[in-house]
Amino acid sequence: MEDKTTDIIKLLKHQDKRAISLLYDKYGAALYGITLKIVQSEVLAEDVLQDSFVKVWKNAASFDEKKGTLFTWLLNITRNTALDTIKSAAFKRSKKIQALDFSVYDHEDWRVEQKPEHIGLRSAVDNLEEKYRLIIDLVYFKGYTQQEVVKHLDIPLGTVKSRVKIGLRELRKLFAESKVIIWIFFWWVASNLAG
Amino acid sequence: MDKEQFLASGLLEQYVLGLTSTQETAEVERWLRQHPELKEEVSAMQDALEKYSLAQGIKPPPHLKSKILHQIDSDGPENLLQVEPNNQSALLIRRSWTRFIWPAIAAAATVALVFTLLRNNAMVHDLRDAQEELVQTKAVCEEEAQRFQAFIQHPATKKIMIKGVERAPDLAVAVFWNPEEKLAFVDTSTLPSAPPASKQFQIWADVEGEMINLGLLKSAPQDTLLPIAFLQKAESLNITLEPEGGSPHPHVEDLVASSPI
Pairwise CB contact (< 8 Å): A33 & B53 = yes
Name every chain A residue with its beta carbon within 8 A of the beta carbon of B71. 50, 54
Give how far Cα B21 sits from Cα of A72, B107, B247, Å: 18, 48, 116
d(CA A75, CA A27): 9
pLDDT, tens digit, for every residue of B151-184? Answer: 888 888 888 888 888 888 888 888 888 888 888 8
| Residue A45: band (very low, low, confident or very high) from pLDDT cuts 50, 70, 90 | very high
User: Helices A18-39 and A70-92 sit at what angle, rounded to 10 degrees?
Assistant: 50
Is there a single domain that holds both residue B256 and residue B163? Answer: yes
Q: Return the pLDDT at B91.
A: 37
Q: Which of the given ranges, A93-102, A170-179, B108-117, has the highest pLDDT on average?
A: B108-117
**Nearest-by-Cβ selection for A168 from B45, B69, B79:** B45
Is there a single domain that holds both residue B148 and residue B85? Answer: yes
**Nearest-by-Cβ selection for B10 from A112, A162, A175:** A162
Q: Which of residues 13-52 of A touch B (CB under 8 A)?
A: 13-15, 17, 20-21, 24, 27-34, 36, 42, 45-46, 49-50
Is there a single domain that holds both residue B168 and residue B106? Answer: no
User: Does a structural domain hold residue B120?
Assistant: yes
Q: Among residues B153, B178, B195, which one ends one of the domains? A: B153
Length of chain B: 261
DSSP B167-198: T-TT-EEEEEEETTTTEEEEEGGGS-SSPSTT
Count of alpha carbons within 13 angstroms of residue A90, beta-carbon side: 16
Is there a single domain that holds both residue B205 and residue B144? Answer: no
Query: Taking a C-beta distance cutoff of 8 angstroms, is the pair B206, B160 a contact?
Result: no
pLDDT, tens digit, for every residue of A20-38? Answer: 999 999 999 999 999 999 9
Vertex B58 angle, CA B56 and B63, to 5°: 160
Is there a single domain that holds both residue B131 and residue B163? Answer: no
Rg (CA), chain A: 18
Is there a single domain that holds both residue B175 and residue B85? Answer: no
**Range list for CATH 1.10.10.10 in chain A:** 111-195
**Nearest-by-Cβ selection for A15 from B13, B46, B77:** B77
Query: Taking a C-beta distance cutoff of 8 angstroms, is the pair B261, B237 a contact?
Result: yes
**Range list for CATH 1.10.1740.10 in chain A:** 1-95
Q: Return the pLDDT at A50.
A: 95
Pairwise CB contact (< 8 Å): A61 & B79 = yes
Q: Among residues B153, B185, B210, which one ends one of the domains? A: B153
Is there a single domain that holds both residue B190 and residue B255? Answer: yes
Name every chain A residue with its beta carbon within 8 A of the beta carbon of B60. 28-29, 32, 45-46, 49
d(CA B259, CA B261): 6
Q: Which residues contact B248 (CB under 8 A, 6 or more apart)?
A: B213
pLDDT, tens digit, for every residue of B188-224? Answer: 888 877 777 788 888 998 888 888 888 888 766 666 7
Name every chain B residue with its beta carbon within 8 A of the beta carbon of A54. 68, 71-72, 75
Is there a single domain that holds both residue B84 and residue B148? Answer: yes
Query: Taking a C-beta distance cutoff of 8 angstroms, is the pair B160, B203 a contact?
Result: no
Q: Chain A interface, mutation test: which of B12, B41, B56, B93, most A Cβ atoms within 10 Å?
A: B56
pLDDT mean over B102-108: 84
User: Does a structural domain hold residue B176?
Assistant: yes
DSSP A62-129: G--TTTS-HHHHHHHHHHHHHHHHHHHHHHHTT--GGGS--GGGGSTT--PPPPGGGTTHHHHHHTS-
Position A105 pLDDT exceeds 50: no
Is there a single domain that holds both residue B163 and residue B256? Answer: yes
- The bridge status of strand B225-228 relative to strand B236-243 is unpaired
Vertex B76 angle, CA B72 and B81, to 5°: 140
The residues pairing with B199 across neighbouring beta strands, listed in sequence order, are B243
Q: Return the pLDDT at B85.
A: 43
DSSP A128-175: S-HHHHHHHIIIIIT---HHHHHHHHT--HHHHHHHHHHHHHHHHHHH
Is there a single domain that holds both residue B108 and residue B191? Answer: no
Q: Which range, of A46-55, A92-101, B63-72, B195-204, averages the lowest pLDDT?
A: A92-101
Q: Return the pLDDT at A57.
A: 92
What are the start-end ranges of the E strands in B91-180? 158-164, 172-178
Query: Taking a C-beta distance cutoff of 8 angstroms, is the pair B188, B216 a contact?
Result: no
Is there a single domain that holds both residue B199 and residue B254? Answer: yes
Q: Return the pLDDT at A178.
A: 53
Query: Taking a C-beta distance cutoff of 8 angstroms, is the pair A131, A163 a contact?
Result: yes
Q: Which range, of A112-116, B8-12, B125-129, B243-247, averages the lowest pLDDT?
A: A112-116
A160 touches chain B (CB under 8 A): no
- Supply the mean pLDDT for chain B: 82
Please report, as a single letter, which amino acid is at residue B212.
I
Count of alpha carbons within 13 angstroms of residue A117, beta-carbon side: 14
Pairwise CB contact (< 8 Å): B59 & A69 = no
Domain count, chain B: 3
Q: Chain A interface, mutation test: which of B22, B50, B79, most A Cβ atoms within 10 Å?
A: B50
A114 touches chain B (CB under 8 A): no
Domain extent at residue B179:
158-260
User: Does a structural domain hold residue B185?
Assistant: yes
Closest CA to A43 of B92, A51, B77: A51
Q: Return the pLDDT at B166.
A: 83
pLDDT, tens digit, for every residue of B33-60? Answer: 999 999 999 989 999 999 999 988 999 9
User: Does a structural domain hold residue B69?
Assistant: no
Structure ipTM? 0.79
Q: Which of residues 86-105 of A touch B (CB under 8 A)?
A: none
φ, ψ of residue A74 in degrees (nearest 5): -60, -45
Q: Return the pLDDT at A147.
A: 93
Is there a single domain that holds both residue B149 and residue B162? Answer: no
| Residue B142: band (very low, low, confident or very high) from pLDDT cuts 50, 70, 90 | confident
B236 dihedral zone (left: phi>0; alpha: psi -120 to 50; beta): beta
Fold category of A1-95 in CATH = Rna Polymerase Sigma Factor; Chain: A (1.10.1740)
d(CA A183, CA A195): 18
The residues pairing with B176 across neighbouring beta strands, listed in sequence order, are B159, B185
d(CA B145, CA B148): 5
User: Does a structural domain hold residue B71?
Assistant: no
B248 dihedral zone (left: phi>0; alpha: psi -120 to 50; beta): alpha
User: Does a structural domain hold residue B95?
Assistant: yes
User: Does a structural domain hold residue B68?
Assistant: no
User: Does a structural domain hold residue B35?
Assistant: yes
Q: Return the pLDDT at B107.
A: 87
| Residue B75: band (very low, low, confident or very high) from pLDDT cuts 50, 70, 90 | low
Q: Among residues B126, B153, B180, which one ends one of the domains? A: B153
Q: Chain B interface, mutation test: which of A4, A112, A150, most B Cβ atoms within 10 Å?
A: A112
Class of domain A111-195: mainly alpha
Pairwise CB contact (< 8 Å): A58 & B96 = no
Pairwise CB contact (< 8 Å): B79 & A60 = yes
